[in-house]
């Protein structure tokens, strides 16, 4: 694999030389924000929406990003061009920057920004063809009043703990509940169910779910196919008795679920309606975004 060029604070450096300070608050405390973005056939999918969410997350943390959204957008596109990425994954990160060993963010002089444009594979192709088996994990989603999950921050320990529990249970992905026991999302993906009479349901963001870009896209595609899309609280009963189930996420894209906590969904095979919506998504990605 060829060495990547990393956009770091306004210039490209070889990945072997790309570094942040050991005193950076992103490293020491998870103090920062990020976006994961996909490129398809020379189009960066919904780049405008990703940049908007990045700046919203930064605003919640009172993290002043030193370049404009338009400059950030161009930096992402430049990163793709520099690395010859037409189909791939972009990780855009803004940290609080170098500070000291204390918590006070006022000690950080300026934010650090870096962009990685490369490849990613979260799930094998088999998962998209045959579907995933999920388990509910013990770790609960962060409280909105603690670290609001709608902020895409660098502090992902909550998700990592849940991912480890899923793996230890023999599943590739785990379902996270909130403190009240309602289904929120998976460790890195939003979750949907399909019910009778063309109804699609998904947990609302106020329950603790990230407002996923791919999530919003699938909701639009479902409505275009005549589904009623409802955001409302779901519990595990709703998942167990659903006709079909699928996950969405930037890195994972969209993929079917065939079993939850040992209960088969659609007889243990990907559902036809799920497969149609996934096909719609794949057909739409090159039409929605910024050209590299």
CB neighbourhood size of 276 (10 A): 13
Please give the Cα distance from 38 to 85 (Å, whole number). 10
* Known catalytic residue at 152: yes
Of the candidates 186, 191, 177, 106, the residue with the CA atom closest to the CA atom of residue 142: 177
Please give the Cα distance from 184 to 167 (Å, whole number). 19
Q: Which of 46, 133, 152, 163 is catalytic?
A: 152
Please give the Cα distance from 200 to 276 (Å, whole number). 13
> Phi/psi at 170 (nearest 5 deg)?
85, 15
Of the candidates 193, 191, 157, the residue with the CA atom closest to the CA atom of residue 175: 191
Residues marked active site are found at: 152
């Amino acid at each position: 694999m060829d060495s990547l060029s990393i956009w770091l604070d306004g210039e490209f450096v070889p990945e072997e030389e790309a570094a942040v300070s050991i005193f950076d608050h992103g490293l020491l405390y998870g103090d920062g924000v990020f976006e994961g973005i996909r490129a398809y056939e020379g189009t960066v999918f919904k780049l405008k929406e990703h940049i908007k969410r990045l700046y919203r997350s930064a605003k919640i943390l009172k993290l002043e990003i030193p370049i404009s959204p338009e400059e950030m957008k161009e930096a992402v596109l430049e990163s793709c061009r520099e690395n010859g990425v037409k189909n791939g994954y972009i990780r855009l990160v803004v940290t609080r920057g170098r500070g000291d060993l204390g918590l006070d963010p006022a000690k950080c002089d300026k934010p650090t920004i870096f962009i990685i444009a490369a490849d990613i594979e979260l799930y094998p192709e088999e998962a998209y063809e045959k579907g995933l088996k999920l388990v509910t994990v013990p770790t609960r989603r962060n409280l909105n009043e603690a670290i609001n999950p709608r902020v895409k921050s660098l502090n992902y320990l909550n998700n990592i703990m849940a991912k480890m529990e899923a793996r230890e249970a023999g599943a590739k992905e785990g379902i996270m509940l909130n403190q009240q026991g309602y289904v929120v999302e998976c460790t890195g993906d939003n979750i949907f169910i399909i019910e009778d009479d063309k109804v699609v349901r998904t947990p609302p963001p106020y329950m603790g779910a990230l407002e996923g870009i791919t999530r919003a896209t699938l909701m639009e595609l479902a409505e275009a196919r005549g589904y009623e899309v409802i955001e409302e609280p779901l519990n595990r009963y709703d998942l167990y008795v659903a006709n079909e189930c699928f996950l969405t996420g930037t890195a994972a894209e969209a993929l079917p679920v065939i079993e939850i906590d040992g209960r088969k969904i659609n007889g243990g095979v990907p559902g036809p309606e799920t497969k149609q919506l996934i096909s719609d998504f794949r057909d739409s990605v090159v039409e929605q975004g910024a050209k590299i």
